[in-house]
Amino acid sequence: MLICAISAKPKQGVTLYFDQEIKLNKLLFMLILGVFANAVVAEETDKRQILKLSEPQREHVLQEMRALLSGTQSILDALAKDDMAAVAQQARLLGMTMAHKAEDHLKGALPQEFMKLGMTVHQDFDQLAADAESMKDSKHSLSQLSASMAKCVACHATYQIRTQHQNPAYSRHRTRATR
């Protein structure tokens, strides 16, 4: 009788182990399927306005966005240290002098609303720099930065960039989505 009891326990343990493994595999499969399905649905339901750009235009826009993001992080770092001179210096780099570095190849490619919104962001950084120098109020500067970042959020919620391949072997309608 003792032998039966000992041999029964491993069978139950083995069955329980395999049942749990099957449940975990099913859960993992459902999770992976859900991620792929969500990605497909997100791609199909993206209602943002498409900006069709050439690869060099796309790179220019993304490079500027990365510079704005990096500069914003530097401003936040300076605000955390209450270094208002550094706040002003970093903000000035993101102001209208940065905007004037835009190349002519973007002027006709981007919608007027996109350009206006971008210019207001650069103007915001110039104002932030001036106020940081004169007021030296980190809370005010943080509020200004928040308002400017709201414009970035609005822009990213409105537009998406797609590149048109320059290679003639590609169809004119073939694009690559970017975020």
CATH number for the domain harbouring residue 112: 1.20.120.10
Sheet-wide strand order for 159-164: 49-53, 159-164, 175-178
> Is position 95 within any domain?
yes
Tell me what pLDDT residue 166 has.
47
74 and 27 in a common domain = no
Tell me what pLDDT residue 79 has.
98
- DSSP lists the bridge partners of residue 52 as 162
Which residues span the domain enclosing 118? Answer: 49-178
pLDDT digits (tens, 9 = 90+) for 24-39: 666 666 667 666 666 6
Average pLDDT, 10 consecutive residues per value, the chain (179 residues): 49 62 66 65 81 93 96 98 98 93 76 94 98 98 98 97 66 45
> Is position 36 within any domain?
no
Query: How many other C-beta atoms lie within 10 A of the C-beta of residue 102?
Result: 17
Tell me what pLDDT residue 168 has.
44
Number of domains in the chain: 2
> Is position 41 within any domain?
no
Tell me what pLDDT residue 91 has.
98
Tell me what pLDDT residue 122 has.
97
55 and 26 in a common domain = no
Q: pTM, whole model, 2 decimals?
A: 0.68
pLDDT digits (tens, 9 = 90+) for 144-164: 999 999 999 999 999 999 998
130 and 55 in a common domain = yes
54 and 10 in a common domain = no
> Is position 24 within any domain?
yes
Contact 144, 124 (CB under 8 A): yes
Question: 160 — phi, psi (to 5°)?
Answer: -135, 150
